[in-house]
Chain A
Amino acid sequence: MSNSPGLADAPSFSGCFHCGLPVPDGAHYPIQFESETRQACCRGCQAVAQTIIDSGQGAYYTHRTALPATPQQTEAELAQLGLYDLPEIQESFVRVEAENVREAALILENIVCAACIWLNERHIAQLPGVLSVDINYATRRARVRWDNSRIQLSAILKAVSDIGYIAHPFDPGRSDDIHRRERNTAIKRLAIAGLGMMQVMMYALPTYTATDMTDDIRLLMSWASLILTIPVVGYSAWPFFIGAWRDFRRRMLGMDVPVALGIGTAFVASVYSTFSGEGEVYYDSVTMFVFLLLTGRFLEMNARRRASAAVEELVKLIPAATTRLPNWPARDEEQVPVARLAVGDHVLVRPGETLPADGEVVEGDSAVSEAMLTGESLPVSKSVHAKVVGGSLNQASPLVVRVEKLGADTRLASIVRLLDRAQSEKPRIGQLADRAAAWFVGLLLVITFFVGLAWHFIDPSRTLWIVVSILVVTCPCALGLATPAALTTGTGRLTRLGLLTTRGHALETLARATDLVFDKTGTLTHGRLSVRRVLPLGGRSAEDVSKIAAALEAGSEHPIARALREAGSGGMTASDIRNTPGRGVEGTIDGHPYRLGSPRYAAAGVTPPESGGDEHPENGHESWVALAQGSETIAWFALADTPRADAPAALVALQKLGVRLHLLSGDAEPAVKAVAEQLGITDWHAGALPEDKLAYVKTLQQQGRIVAMVGDGINDAPVLAGAQVSIAMGEGADVAQAAADMVMLGSRLATLGEGVELARKTQRIIRQNLGWALGYNLIAIPAAALGYVTPWIAGIGMSASSLLVVLNALRLTDFKSSPSPAPTETPQPRPASLTPNA
Chain B
Amino acid sequence: MDILILLIPLSLVLVGVIAWVMLWAARSGQFDDLEGPGHSVIMDDDSPPTPDDTPKP
When the two chains form their complex, are residues A224 and B11 in contact, meaning their CB atoms are under 8 A apart?
yes
Contact of B26 among A184, A213, A224 (CB under 8 A): A184
User: Known contacts being A187-B26, A834-B42, is A195 close to B15, with CB within 8 Å?
Assistant: yes
- A834: chain B residues at CB < 8 Å are 42
CB A827 to nearest CB in B, in angstroms, measures: 12
When the two chains form their complex, are residues A220 and B12 in contact, meaning their CB atoms are under 8 A apart?
no
- A779: chain B residues at CB < 8 Å are none
- B4: chain A residues at CB < 8 Å are 217, 220
CB B23 to nearest CB in A, in angstroms, measures: 6
Q: Say what secondary structure dominates the interface of chain A.
A: helix
Chain B window 27-41, contacts with chain A (Cβ cutoff 8 Å), 1 for yes, 0 for no: 101011000000100
CB A209 to nearest CB in B, in angstroms, measures: 14
Known pairs A187-B31, A217-B5, A220-B8. 16 more at Cβ < 8 A? A184-B29, A188-B26, A191-B26, A192-B22, A195-B15, A195-B22, A202-B11, A213-B1, A220-B4, A220-B5, A221-B8, A224-B11, A224-B12, A227-B12, A228-B15, A829-B43
- B1: chain A residues at CB < 8 Å are 213-214, 217
User: Known contacts being A180-B32, A183-B31, A831-B42, is A188 close to B22, with CB within 8 Å?
Assistant: yes
For residue A836, CB closer than 8 A to chain B, the reply is yes
Within 8 A of B (CB), among A628-686: none
Closest to B28 in A: A184
When the two chains form their complex, are residues B22 and A191 in contact, meaning their CB atoms are under 8 A apart?
yes
A selection of 14 A-B contacts at a CB cut-off of 8 Å is A187-B26, A188-B22, A188-B26, A191-B19, A195-B18, A199-B15, A203-B8, A213-B1, A220-B4, A221-B8, A224-B11, A224-B12, A227-B12, A837-B55
CB B47 to nearest CB in A, in angstroms, measures: 12
For residue B9, CB closer than 8 A to chain A, the reply is yes
For the complex, what is the distance from the CA of A221 to the CA of B53, rounded to whole Å? 58
CB A252 to nearest CB in B, in angstroms, measures: 32
Within 8 A of A (CB), among B42-57: 42-43, 53-55
Which 9 residue pairs of A and B lie closest in terms of their CB atoms, listed nearest first? A191-B22, A188-B26, A187-B31, A187-B26, A199-B15, A831-B42, A224-B8, A836-B55, A831-B43
CB B2 to nearest CB in A, in angstroms, measures: 9
For the complex, what is the distance from the CA of A285 to the CA of B16, rounded to whole Å? 21
- B18: chain A residues at CB < 8 Å are 195
For the complex, what is the distance from the CA of A221 to the CA of B31, rounded to whole Å? 33
Closest to A214 in B: B1
Closest to B1 in A: A217
Closest to A216 in B: B5
Contact of A192 among B19, B39, B42 (CB under 8 A): B19
- A196: chain B residues at CB < 8 Å are 15
- B54: chain A residues at CB < 8 Å are 836
For the complex, what is the distance from the CA of A84 to the CA of B9, rounded to whole Å? 54
